[in-house]
């Protein structure tokens, strides 16, 4: 065991250089999630309002079902914690697609029962982790799919089109909000 007084500055720097980017992101995410700035709260509120209202407006106009329950939780990440890896477009689009596809495959192969429901959710989480597309709200998509038993078109609408609209609104909104907060 090393005596704390005998640790050199180079050992401390070496330890800090071993910290991964994901640990830094996680640290920032935990800090921002635990107590958001007062400015972030109304920005998250307005962003979530804009995104879900946009989905509802497009859905009402086109008569396509574009809203999933998990999209509300996606808005929490996209607007409340936009700097986290979970908010990246790849994660939002890929996570929702993989999770909905997993639910549809399990309904098709096994039907809806207690073990297929649990296995579908677990599989979707494993696949998101394996593909680097982890988006926690999407893990509820297999449950949504299995409770509704939709057609394969569910992958297009609401899953992909809805997730794309969320990402589009979030990207636009977060760029504008950042520019306004910087005074540009």
Residue with structure tokens 């309002």? 49
Average pLDDT over residues 104-117: 97
| Confidence (pLDDT) at 19 | 47
Torsion on CA atoms 82, 84, 86, 92, rounded to nearest 10: 30
pLDDT in tens, 83-94: 999 999 999 999
pLDDT in tens, 124-151: 999 999 999 999 999 999 999 999 999 9
C-alpha span between 44 and 83 (Å, rounded) = 13
CA 19 to chain centre: 24
Q: Spell out the domain ranges in the chain.
A: 38-182
| Confidence (pLDDT) at 29 | 52
**Is 0.75 surpassed by the pTM of this model?**
yes
pLDDT in tens, 10-41: 554 554 455 455 555 555 555 555 677 888 89
Helix pair 89-110, 114-131: axis angle to 10 deg: 150
C-alpha span between 146 and 102 (Å, rounded) = 10
| Confidence (pLDDT) at 1 | 45
Answer whether residue 116 shows pLDDT above 70.
Answer: yes
Q: And the tokens for 150?
A: 């939709």
| Confidence (pLDDT) at 37 | 82
């Amino acid at each position: 065991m090393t005596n704390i007084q005998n640790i050199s500055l180079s050992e401390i720097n070496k330890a800090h250089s071993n910290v991964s980017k994901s640990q830094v992101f996680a640290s920032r995410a935990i800090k921002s999630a635990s107590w958001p700035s007062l400015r972030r709260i109304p920005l998250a509120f307005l962003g979530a309002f804009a995104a879900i209202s946009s989905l509802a407006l497009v859905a009402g106009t086109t008569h396509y079902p574009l809203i999933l329950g998990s999209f509300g939780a996606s808005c929490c990440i996209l607007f409340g914690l936009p700097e986290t890896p979970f908010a990246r477009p790849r994660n939002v689009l890929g996570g929702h697609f993989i999770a909905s596809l997993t639910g549809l495959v399990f309904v098709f192969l096994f039907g809806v029962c207690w073990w297929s429901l649990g296995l579908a959710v677990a599989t979707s989480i494993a696949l998101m982790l394996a593909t680097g597309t982890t988006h926690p709200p999407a893990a509820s998509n297999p449950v949504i799919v299995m409770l509704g038993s939709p057609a394969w078109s569910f992958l297009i609408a609401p899953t992909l089109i809805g997730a794309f609209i969320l990402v589009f609104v979030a990207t636009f909104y977060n760029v504008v909000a950042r520019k306004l907060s910087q005074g540009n």
